[in-house]
Amino acid sequence: MSHYLKQIELLRSLQKVDDDIHSIRKELEAAPQEVEDLRRRLAEVSDQRARQQDKITHLRDQERRLDTEIEDDSARLRKSKGKLMGVGNSREYHAMVREMDSLERVNRNREEEKVALSDEMERQTSLQAEVDARSIALEKELSDCESGLQSRMEAAEARLAALLLKRNEAAHEVPAPVFSRYEFIRERLEHPVIVPVANGVCSGCNISIPPQNYIELQKAAQILSCPNCQRLMFWIEASPAETEGI
Ligand SMILES: [Zn+2]
């Protein structure tokens, strides 16, 4: 194997370890975020529950108010009926009958209002049951996620520690100047550092490299950087379909 190819191979081995480190670091960042997302969703549902409770309280108040009004006017009606027989002249009698008719009409309207309120109460109560169920499910999900988080984080940290050791070994294999170049890029660019080029396209930035650079790359004489994204490149003789997963 040529000197060049050996170096590329060592860099790719190092990159493979860094790929694993990269995905574990992502996992470590994402795990607490899941708990945070669940907490936020639960807080939203709690707000919904409170609003739902307010609506139901408001409906109950309205029901109570109607009941009181119906009760008061019914008492007035009973009182008027009792007096009606004792009324002396017909003018007073008719005035009382008109007043009683009006009280009865108002109470009938209130009874209709009560039916509408009761329908609305039924609707709101079933909505409340839905929100309560959602809240209970979320609480369970959150508590499962929280209790799993600690062990997941510990497992990921342990894997990370093992990978960092493996990385040290892989890094030692790479000649110092090449390793410095790799590290220089790793510290400044998005993951990854070394990328395959197939059919003249850099897989780091998905941009075609100029023909002159492509010819140089295929000569396999020295390690080259992509003129666009600056990542280290190596040439693979393959169609795009075959490069998937590299
Ligand atoms: Zn590139």
For residue 225, what is the enclosing H or E element?
strand 224-225
Residues at Cβ < 5 Å from ligand 1 ion: 202, 204-205, 226, 228-229
Tell me, in angstroms, the distance from the centre of ligand 1 to residue 197's CA.
9
**Whole-angstrom distance, CA of residue 182 vs CA of residue 175:** 11
Strands (E), 70-211: 194-198, 201-202
Residue 85: predicted pLDDT: 84
Residue 14, in any domain of the structure? no
Residue 61, in any domain of the structure? yes
pLDDT at 240 over 70: no
Tell me, in angstroms, the distance from the centre of ligand 1 to residue 209's CA.
8
Residue 81, in any domain of the structure? yes
Residue 238: predicted pLDDT: 67
Residue 25: predicted pLDDT: 96
Tell me, in angstroms, the distance from the centre of ligand 1 to residue 196's CA.
9
Residue 13, in any domain of the structure? no
Q: Report whether 210 contacts 201 (CB < 8 A).
A: no
- Regarding whether 109 and 152 lie in a shared domain, the answer is yes
Tell me, in angstroms, the distance from the centre of ligand 1 to residue 67's CA.
77
- Regarding whether 185 and 141 lie in a shared domain, the answer is no
pLDDT at 246 over 80: no
Instruction: For residue range 59-104, list pLDDT tens digits in order.
Output: 999 999 999 999 999 999 999 988 888 888 899 999 999 999 999 9
Residue 86: predicted pLDDT: 86
Residue 122: predicted pLDDT: 97
Domain boundary residue among 158, 173, 188? 173
Quickly state the pLDDT bin for 46 (edges 50, 70, 90).
Answer: very high
Tell me, in angstroms, the distance from the centre of ligand 1 to residue 4's CA.
20
Domain boundary residue among 173, 196, 218? 173
Tell me, in angstroms, the distance from the centre of ligand 1 to residue 87's CA.
105
Residue 47: predicted pLDDT: 97
Q: Report whether 205 contacts 189 (CB < 8 A).
A: no
Tell me, in angstroms, the distance from the centre of ligand 1 to residue 151's CA.
38
**Whole-angstrom distance, CA of residue 65 vs CA of residue 50:** 23
- Regarding whether 196 and 120 lie in a shared domain, the answer is no
Residue 63: predicted pLDDT: 97
Burial class (CB in 10 A: 0-12, 13-18, 19+), 212: exposed
Domain boundary residue among 173, 199, 225? 173
Tell me, in angstroms, the distance from the centre of ligand 1 to residue 12's CA.
16
Mean pLDDT of the chain: 94
- Regarding whether 125 and 27 lie in a shared domain, the answer is yes
Tell me, in angstroms, the distance from the centre of ligand 1 to residue 243's CA.
15
Tell me, in angstroms, the distance from the centre of ligand 1 to residue 168's CA.
26
Determine what percent of the chain is predicted with pLDDT higher than 70: 96
